[in-house]
Structure 1
Amino acid sequence: MSAAAPWIAQQRDALLAQRGHAWLLQGPSGLGQYSLALEMARAWLCEKPGAGGACGQCGSCHAIEVRTHADLCALMPETVMLEMGWPLGEKAQKDIDDKKRKPSREIRVEAM
């Protein structure tokens, strides 16, 4: 697991004992919501988690790192997904590749 900023590590530690079926993290840009969400996903999906979260070595940790884990769905605007290396849905990617439309700056209904 990567070294998190102190405020993210503090939140991560508090949340490791809790689980939910979904989260909604929001707030002004730059506060660490994305980092916190990714740290928690790594910790919860890791095959060999330790006291501090994910091992960073197992197949699950690797799949999260390369954005291909089957049990992880990131929901954010297409422009942000592309910037952060997340794959788009097949139809959305085809429409963008075919120049039918530009990547959305909003979360599209079809993405849910």
Structure 2
Amino acid sequence: MLVKSFSQEIAVMYLGNVVEVMDSDKMQDIAFHPYTKALLNAVFTLNTFSENKIKLLSGDVPSPLDVPKGCPFVNRCEYAMEICKNEKPLLKEIEVNHKVACHLIEKKEEECLN
């Protein structure tokens, strides 16, 4: 991927909000935010017979002048929960050099504790 060749750290933004920050050399392995995963899934090769099909995001992109109250990606996220509609997730370090702004982090942490 081209971005790895000129950047050590990647910040993924959606509607002017940072949703994930990570080392560029690990991004394919550690990407967590649904938008980051969608971007990585959209990378294609020149091989027109590729078995990897690009999965399109559903939902409408909100106006940058009228971003949703909660998570800016809530209208397009297949994992959106009620909390996503009401509370904007904070950028949280989930491991060294990897930060994510997503309520799925809390859900994942709860599942690990139970």
Fold-level match, TM-score > 0.5?
Answer: no
RCO higher in 1 or 2 (8 Å CA, sep ≥ 6)?
Answer: 2
Provide the TM-score with structure 2 as the length reference.
0.31
Provide TM-score, normalisation by structure 1: 0.32
Relative to its length, the structure with more strand (as a share) is: 2
Greater share of helix residues, 1 or 2?
1
